[in-house]
Amino acid sequence: MCGIAGIYPFHTSAESHHLKTTLEHMLATLYHRGPDEGGMLLDKNFAMGMTRLSIIDLSGGQQPISNEQGDMWVVFNGEIFNFVELRTLLQKAGHRFNTQADTEVIIHAYEEFGLNFVDYLNGQFAIAIWDSRARQLILARDRVGIRPLFYTEHNGSMYFASEMKALAAANHFPLEIDFRGLSQIFTFWVNLPPRTIFRDIHELPPGHLMTVSDKGIAQYPYWNYRFPTDGKFPIRSRKHARAILREQLLEATRLRLRADVPVGAYLSGGLDSSLISAIVKQYFNDKLETFSLAFHNPHYDERPYQEQMAKHLGTRHHVVEISENDIAELFPLAVWHAEKPLLRTAPAPLFALSRLVREHHIKVVLTGEGADEIFAGYNIFKEDKIRRFWAKAPDSEWRPMVLAKLYPYILQEKGSVSPFWKQFFRRHLTETDHPFYSHLLRWENGMHFSRFLAPDARIALTLEDHIEELWNLIPYEYSRWHPLNKAQFLEAALFMNGYLLSSQGDRMMMGNSVEGRFPFLDHRLIDFAAQLHPDLKLHGLTGKFILRQAFPELLPPEILNRPKQPYRAPIASVFLSQHTPEIIRELLQEDALKRFGYFNPAAVARLTQKLLQNPVPSARDEMAITFIVSLQILHWQFIEHFQPATTIDMNKFKIVQMNHKEETNAVF
């Protein structure tokens, strides 16, 4: 794992020492992503570099790495899990290797296959290749967006980096909030790539390549989620599906254990992380260390299930216990690493969890992310199925009651659905032909957050306006997909990429120099799951049905059959208690709200008063206060008081000057 950054000046002659100084500033902000060592490549009118977290070939894998002729160079963030097999293939084609690192296969694969090289990579990555012969920069991001990559153009140059703070550190690039991006976050809960929360900073979308030359910038998609069309599902047999799933998940897990450092695992107490831990323990590593998150508040605590699973596996188990005060103290740090407004406090405890991992000298953890998206585990998939069932008889009194299987709180004492919730779920009920039917209620609900905005921050955008931009991400055959597959695509391409793998994933892990690996997100497993008949994923109202069938011998029945429990953390009690940190209190004051200019102070005051008076606040109100606090923190950190690190220890850097002798400064 690493942080990468670079500068490409367009049609200008940039001094090498100026590029080097700017690159140093950028890499200094990425030190947390790679504290072990670093590297730079300096060419005429181009520079790129990286900070490294050493995991594979600890002594020989320092970047940048070149081809045999030294005219193509690569830096990258992530892992290529099939590097052993790919190296063998490339050696047979005549390529010579100088290291055992996975990095080196990238540059030879590009040399051999051109821009199609990404098709051969099984991994999680953000890649930068400098082809000096063509004077062309190639950027590539993994298929599902596990590793981040951002870029901007400023003063005649193109800058790229693993995090946006590194772009801001380059020549003090001024940051401004993009109000359309802001509106997207409270609508979709994420930004739609390439848009970000900051104006003129863009995200390279997952599954995309970018080329940069004096001719300009061009983007190319190379992968997307693909589902069968017109109900033609190749895999319908439960026995057949189970056999393939066992084989592919074992292989995906085996590949993700490749490392020259110890590998641990997260253990949440749910099916997905428990299954990954069980596979590792049973088949690959009998001395597995597992890590769990516990809460002081019993409403959020899953410790009994975690302890049961750890005892069942016999792992060396570690737990970090989190209080509301801990979350409040960590929340500004979570925002700093997430680089966007948040709608939940959940990233903060996960930052504490990765810190626990690092304290036990573990650099790599396996987790269960991705299973709910590709095997249909979330309630939103079940809700969509129930509402479509209800829509066939919209006047039915009993059909809406099926929703209580997901949300018991919607029932009145007499057993019927309360009028409020019945009206809520009835919205758009019969619009089952709408292409985004499954997510309409969620998105429409998010639009209500605009009532807290100040007039200058509120832009006249409807849900339809945002959906118009969403269409840019939708595959052309989407309209011919099964409703479940449409919902799966939206959940994976939006929420998983923009939130789970970033704000709760890469950013909270890499903030403590820990790499997360996700066996369920092996692209071959994703492609397999897409071919399954929907009933093998969502069987009645049982989500992840085939996954529960695949490894019954590895898990206790209580874990195997446990309903999906969404990961949550306390919210209102974090921001509105006597123990709330002073900085958060100050940012919610009227003068700070007016000075930053995003929120209506009177509306925020009404919300905080409502939360203080209500012992059981609504989820929407809790999301609203989190959104307000996090945006205030974001502005304070990135706009009003932006103070990035500007120096980094160059003694640990490998510096390559093109057309000059390679210079290495105390490399270790």
Angstrom CA distances, 93 to 47, 88, 119, 391, stand at 30, 9, 17, 59
- Is pLDDT at 569 greater than 90 in this prediction? no
* Average pLDDT score over the chain: 93
First to last CA, the chain: 17
In this prediction, residues 109-130 reach a mean pLDDT of 98
- Residue among 71, 75, 49, 64 at smallest CA distance from 132: 71
Kindly report, residue by residue over 64-75, the tens digit of the pLDDT. 999 999 999 999
pLDDT above 70 covers a percentage of the chain that reads 97
Q: Would you place residue 575 in the very low, low, confident or very high pLDDT band (cuts 50, 70, 90)?
A: very high
Q: 222-226, 575-579, 631-635: lowest mean pLDDT where? A: 575-579
- The yes-or-no verdict on residue 566 having pLDDT over 90 is no
Where residue 528 falls among pLDDT bands split at 50, 70, 90? very high
Nearest to 341 by CA among 446, 220, 227, 191: 191
Distance of alpha carbon 603 from alpha carbon 481, whole angstroms: 42
Lowest mean pLDDT among 32-46, 206-220, 356-370, 408-422: 408-422
The strand ranges marked E within 258-399 are 263-266, 289-295, 316-322, 364-366
pLDDT digits 0-9 by tens, 123-142: 999 999 999 999 999 999 99
The pTM (predicted TM-score) of the whole model is 0.95
Residue carrying the six token digits 């003068």: 591
**Cis? peptide before 64, omega within 30° of 0:** yes
pLDDT at 44: 87
pLDDT of residue 570: 83
Q: What's CA 243's distance to the chain center, in Å? A: 29
What is the rounded average pLDDT of the residues 517-541? Answer: 98
Helices (H), 522-648: 523-530, 534-537, 545-550, 557-560, 572-575, 582-587, 590-596, 601-613, 619-635
Per-residue pLDDT band for 254 (boundaries 50, 70, 90) equals very high
Triad 247, 250, 251: Cα angle to 5°: 85
Separation of alpha carbons 546 and 150, rounded Å: 37
Nearest Cα residue to 654 out of 40, 36, 15: 40
Confidence at residue 287, expressed as pLDDT on a 0 to 100 scale: 86
pLDDT digits (tens, 9 = 90+) for 390-406: 999 999 999 999 999 99
Does residue 228 register a pLDDT over 70? yes
3-class SS of residue 176: coil
401 secondary structure, DSSP code:
G
Residue 18 or residue 48, greater confidence: 48
SS3 586: helix
In 235-315, beta strands by DSSP E: 263-266, 289-295
Nearest to 4 by CA among 154, 146, 159: 159
Asked if 42 and 654 touch (Cβ cutoff 8 Å), the reply is no
Predicted confidence at residue 460, as pLDDT, reads 67
> What amino acid occupies position 662?
E
Is the preceding peptide bond at 534 cis, omega within 30 degrees of 0?
no
- Average pLDDT for 523-547: 98
Contacts of 308 (CB under 8 A, 6+ apart): 269, 556, 558, 559
What's residue 662's pLDDT? 47
pLDDT score of 437 more than 90: yes
For residue 664, is pLDDT > 50?
no
What's 35's DSSP letter?
B
Domains of the chain: 2-223+660-664 (3.60.20.10)
Chain centroid, CA 168 distance in Å: 21
- Please tell me the predicted confidence (pLDDT) of residue 1: 63
Please indicate whether residue 536 or residue 414 has the higher confidence score (pLDDT): 536
Instruction: Indicate the pLDDT class of residue 667, thresholds 50, 70 and 90.
Output: very low
Spatial separation of the C-alpha atoms in residues 31 and 26, rounded to whole Å: 9
Please state the rounded mean pLDDT for residues 168-195: 92
Mean pLDDT of 618-629: 94
- Contact between residue 404 and residue 410 where contact means Cβ atoms under 8 Å apart: yes
Report the share of the chain in percent with pLDDT over 90. 82
Q: Which are the contacts of 563, defined by CB distance < 8 A and separation ≥ 6?
A: none
* Mean pLDDT, residues 324-328: 94
Of residues 637, 573, 549, 12, the one with CA closest to residue 339: 637
Is the CB of residue 605 less than 8 Å from the CB of residue 593?
A: no
pLDDT at 15 over 80: no
User: In terms of pLDDT, which residue wins out, 569 or 153?
Assistant: 153
Listed range (237-241, 433-437, 452-456) with the worst mean pLDDT: 452-456
